[in-house]
Amino acid sequence: MKIGIDISNLDELSKKRGIGFYTQNLVSSLKEYTNAQVSVIVEKNEDIKIDIIHYPFFDFFKFSLPLIKKNPTIVTIHDVIPLLFPKAYPPGVKGNIHLSLQKISLKNVSAILTDSESSKKDIVKVFNINSEKIFPIHLASDESFKVISDSKRKNEIYSKYELADKFVIYVGDVNWNKNLFKLTEAALDADIDIYLIGKAFEDKTNLNHPEKKSYKKFLDNFESNPKVHILGFVPQEDLVIIMNLATMLLLPSLYEGFGLPILEAQSCGLPVITSNISSMPEVGGEGALFVDPNNKEDVKKQIKLLLNNEKERIKLIEKGFENTKKFSWKETALNTYKVYEKVLS
């Protein structure tokens, strides 16, 4: 079976975010655990003989999926957050035109992959597509996320990033759904330092753009606060150590298609506080504390619980380790391969 993974529409920023992570791990895992011959298509119209073409990302507001398909086509839609909350992600006139074309193009794909049962329900609702055509396949954390015992390396990272003795971390983007303002406010109210990690934090241009309104509000209120530390991009090998040193991960998002930092943190023995909506309970399992993301006091309460109750903290760490056993890139690859087989048969 010859598979073409088409990344020709991925921009450089996407390659360093969750989409790039998904694509890299899917390709390597398909090669390792299945009989698929995988070719990565970097340039449009590359002349490669394939049985199936797989687009690992679906852009709603750009024309990324061709109307005419030369091969059986599979597309991954990680989530439909911009379509569920259009006021936070205004597409503009051009974006709406592209969305109309993308909806038409989606009608004749062979299968749609998505990251969670929650996202599958959203796709059915938004695009009015037969649910039997949509396959939820969970992601997993990279194997490098694990408990680290190297005290010398830990001390190096403490010094490099000037970490506090106790601190919470947030890992991710700066979009509206990430709920940056409330999670930071809750951490400060609980009197603990917060470190914010993600490449998107480094881009402070066009802050008046509607999609960056929530990030601008965050910067205006917290950028100069001595207990708020914006680290921006952090190499993965450093992030793993930071997760080993942190007190907890905060991810009380207003919506997530999956929420990969939950599993990454659990793999490092880091307690997780996340939201009780969309995909997050599906991913966090029993290894996380769930909060109402709109209720700052609820988030603050759970932060204080983990700060003051070591027994609860240890119990949550143990359940987190158990939860991560349900997720692996081997399973992701094998389940994806099954969809390829189903499409070809």
Task: Tell me the pLDDT of the chain averaged across its residues.
Answer: 95
> pLDDT for 271-285, tens place per residue?
999 999 999 999 999
Residues 6+ apart with CB under 8 A from 10: 19, 20, 23, 56, 57
pLDDT at 126 over 70: yes
223 with 291, same domain: the answer is yes
256: pLDDT confidence band, cut at 50, 70 and 90?
very high
The secondary element (H helix, E strand) that includes residue 38 is strand 37-41
70 with 219, same domain: the answer is no
317 with 190, same domain: the answer is yes
**What's the mean pLDDT in 194-216?**
93
Q: State how many domains the chain has.
A: 2
Identify whether the C-beta of residue 6 lies closer than 8 Å to the C-beta of residue 43: no
> Torsion over CA of 52, 53, 56 and 62, rounded to 10 degrees?
-150
167 with 241, same domain: the answer is yes
Residue 145 is assigned to a structural domain of this protein: no
pLDDT at 16 over 60: no
196 with 236, same domain: the answer is yes
166 with 94, same domain: the answer is no
Interior angle at CA 86, CA 174 and CA 210, nearest 5: 50
- Other beta carbons within 10 angstroms of residue 206's beta carbon come to 9
136: pLDDT confidence band, cut at 50, 70 and 90?
very high
Residue 111 is assigned to a structural domain of this protein: yes
> pLDDT for 207-252, tens place per residue?
998 889 999 999 999 999 999 999 999 999 999 999 999 999 999 9
Q: State the residue range of the domain holding 56.
A: 2-140+328-344
283 with 166, same domain: the answer is yes
Starting at the edge strand found earlier in the chain, the sheet holding 111-114 runs: 37-41, 2-6, 52-55, 73-76, 111-114, 134-136
pLDDT value for 320: 98
> pLDDT for 168-181, tens place per residue?
999 999 999 999 99
Residue 107 is assigned to a structural domain of this protein: yes
Residue 191 is assigned to a structural domain of this protein: yes
Residue 312 is assigned to a structural domain of this protein: yes
159 with 254, same domain: the answer is yes
Taking the model in full, what pTM does it have? Answer: 0.94
244 with 132, same domain: the answer is no
Residue 69 is assigned to a structural domain of this protein: yes
pLDDT at 46 over 90: no
93 with 44, same domain: the answer is yes
pLDDT value for 10: 76
pLDDT value for 72: 97
Q: Tell which residue, 177, 195, 173, 181, has the closest CA to residue 248.
A: 195
> pLDDT for 56-102, tens place per residue?
999 999 888 999 999 999 999 999 999 999 999 988 899 999 999 99
Return the CATH number at 198: 3.40.50.2000
163 with 307, same domain: the answer is yes
Residue 161 is assigned to a structural domain of this protein: yes
Residue 146 is assigned to a structural domain of this protein: no
126 with 214, same domain: the answer is no
User: Position 267: which residue type?
Assistant: S
